[in-house]
């Protein structure tokens, strides 16, 4: 692992690493983030691997400008207002994902919404500008530990799992960004932060509650309020052969997979067959997971989606977690 003080040269180096699919820890005004190219599913998969997250939670995409956000997400009048007042700054907006969005489906964990933020930290801005891509970044720590506010915290938590740590001293805010959900008819704070409900109420002129029953109470965990992508088509796990009428989500070779009553999986029409990774690469599988589930999720067309077994190691743990939820 390398720690380098942020300057024009190291920022350029970090930008090239990101564009090459590598992980870079970057300072923001809230906490240090573990960044990857948000357009590159395999790079994003490495974030989950490095953090040791046993599940795929959606990540925040960081942008250089609000104009770039608008290319990926729908911004209504409310979003324009709060963006105008609080960006760049420690506010994350949950917005409807544009159909044409090029953000990896792994960043949004298959959801129809996108978490977006324009950070105020000069180094983060310089990196976003130089890289020319949105950066997906959760806090730069191992899952279940405190969010890092200094380069030393990042190094202690992630060590060699990150390719470069861009160092720019301690973070000014020291607390994760406020997460404001504007994807529904009424605004809702999913995570409290430096920008408060009152701050947002001043701008929007309507009540902005926290996402619990008790007004003013923070949600006990993000999982409580977070929806998971759930396909409408039935999912069957650990398939070793296919029932007639089932679509196949393969992992590794499906050459020898048969259909009960006759036929081979490899002769199925293309619309009924996807492969997460033909050479059984878990990064590729993670990057493809949500996009391929969605492609096969055409209710009424297939009886079910049969999914081949995926090893329960490394990123496979998070992939299997999502598949089990989808199968429920």
**Interaction between residue 219 and ligand TXA (CB under 6 A):** no
Distance from C-alpha of 255 to C-alpha of 259, rounded to nearest angstrom: 12
Distance from C-alpha of 325 to C-alpha of 328, rounded to nearest angstrom: 5
**Interaction between residue 28 and ligand TXA (CB under 6 A):** yes
Instruction: Please check whether residue 299 is in contact with residue 232, taking contact to mean a CB–CB distance below 8 angstroms.
Output: yes
Tell me how far, at minimum, the Cβ of 130 lies from ligand TXA, in Å: 18
Strand pairing class (235-236; 305-307): parallel
**Interaction between residue 259 and ligand TXA (CB under 6 A):** no
Instruction: Please check whether residue 177 is in contact with residue 171, taking contact to mean a CB–CB distance below 8 angstroms.
Output: no
Nearer to ligand TXA, 82 or 239 (CB): 82
**Interaction between residue 115 and ligand TXA (CB under 6 A):** yes
**Interaction between residue 139 and Mg ion (CB under 5 A):** yes
Nearest 5°: phi and psi at 304? -165, 170
**Interaction between residue 59 and ligand TXA (CB under 6 A):** yes
DSSP assignment of 41-55: HHHHHHHHHHHT-SS
Tell me how far, at minimum, the Cβ of 165 lies from Mg ion, in Å: 17
Nearer to ligand TXA, 36 or 292 (CB): 36
Tell me how far, at minimum, the Cβ of 42 lies from ligand TXA, in Å: 18
> Site for ligand TXA (CB under 6 A): which residue of 11, 31, 44, 194?
31
Stretch that binds Mg ion, among 90-98, 117-125, 132-140, 318-326 (CB under 5 A): 132-140
Distance from C-alpha of 8 to C-alpha of 50, rounded to nearest angstrom: 27
DSSP assignment of 89-151: SSEEEEEEBPTT--S-TTTTTT-SEEEEE----HHHHHHHHHH-S-EE--BSS-TTSPPP-SH
**Interaction between residue 178 and Mg ion (CB under 5 A):** no
Nearest 5°: phi and psi at 164? -155, 135
Stretch that binds ligand TXA, among 52-60, 75-83, 194-202, 275-283 (CB under 6 A): 52-60
Nearer to ligand TXA, 194 or 247 (CB): 194
**DSSP 3-state of 73:** strand
Beta-bridge partners for 247: 305
Nearer to Mg ion, 30 or 233 (CB): 30
CA distances from 12 to 15, 32, 154, 180, 242 (A): 5, 18, 20, 32, 50
**Interaction between residue 52 and ligand TXA (CB under 6 A):** no
Q: Which of ligand TXA, Mg ion, none interacts with 191 (beta carbon under 5 to 8 A by kind)?
A: ligand TXA
> Site for ligand TXA (CB under 6 A): which residue of 6, 10, 23, 33?
33
Closest to 65 measured CA to CA, from 117, 138, 18, 135: 117
Q: Which of Mg ion, ligand TXA, none interacts with 320 (beta carbon under 5 to 8 A by kind)?
A: none
**Interaction between residue 28 and Mg ion (CB under 5 A):** no
Instruction: List binders of ligand TXA among 172-191 (CB under 6 A).
Output: 176-177, 179, 190-191
Stretch that binds ligand TXA, among 14-22, 53-61, 72-80, 293-301 (CB under 6 A): 53-61
Residue 87 in tokens: 């960006």
Considering only the C-alpha atoms of the chain, give the largest distance between any 2 of them, rounded to a whole number of Å: 66
**Interaction between residue 55 and ligand TXA (CB under 6 A):** no
Q: Which of Mg ion, ligand TXA, none interacts with 111 (beta carbon under 5 to 8 A by kind)?
A: ligand TXA
Beta-bridge partners for 248: 273, 306
Contact residues toward ligand TXA (CB under 6 A) are 28, 30-31, 33, 57-60, 92, 94, 108, 111, 113, 115, 117, 137-139, 176-177, 179, 190-191, 222, 226
């Amino acid at each position: 692992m390398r720690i380098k003080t942020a300057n024009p040269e190291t920022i350029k180096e970090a930008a090239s690493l990101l564009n090459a699919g590598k992980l870079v820890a970057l300072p923001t005004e809230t906490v240090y983030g573990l960044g990857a190219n948000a357009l590159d599913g395999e790079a994003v998969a490495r974030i989950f691997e490095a953090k040791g997250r046993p599940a795929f939670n959606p990540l925040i995409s960081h942008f250089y400008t609000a104009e770039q956000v608008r290319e990926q997400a729908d911004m209504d009048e409310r979003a324009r207002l709060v963006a105008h007042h609080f960006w760049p700054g420690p506010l994350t907006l949950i917005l409807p994902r544009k159909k044409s969005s090029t953000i990896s489906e792994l960043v949004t964990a298959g959801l129809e919404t996108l978490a977006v933020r324009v950070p105020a930290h000069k180094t983060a801005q310089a990196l976003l500008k130089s890289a020319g891509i949105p950066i997906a970044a959760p806090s730069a720590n191992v899952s279940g530990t405190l969010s890092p506010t200094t380069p030393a915290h990042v190094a202690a938590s992630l060590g060699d799992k990150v390719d470069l740590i861009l160092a720019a001293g301690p973070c000014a805010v020291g607390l994760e960004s406020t997460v404001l959900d504007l994807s529904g008819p009424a605004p809702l704070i999913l995570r409290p932060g430096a920008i408060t409900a009152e701050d947002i109420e001043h701008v929007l002129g309507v009540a902005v509650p926290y996402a619990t029953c008790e007004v003013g109470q923070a949600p006990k965990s993000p999982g409580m309020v977070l929806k998971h992508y759930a396909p409408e088509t039935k999912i069957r796990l650990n398939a070793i052969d296919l029932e007639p009428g089932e679509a196949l989500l393969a992992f590794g070779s499906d050459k020898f997979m048969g259909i009960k009553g006759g036929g081979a999986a490899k002769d199925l029409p293309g619309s009924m067959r996807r492969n997460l990774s033909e050479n059984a690469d878990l990064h590729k599988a993670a990057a493809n997971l949500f996009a391929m589930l969605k492609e096969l999720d055409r209710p009424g067309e297939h009886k079910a989606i049969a999914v081949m077994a995926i090893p329960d190691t490394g990123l496979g743990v998070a992939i299997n977690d999502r598949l089990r939820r989808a199968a429920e």
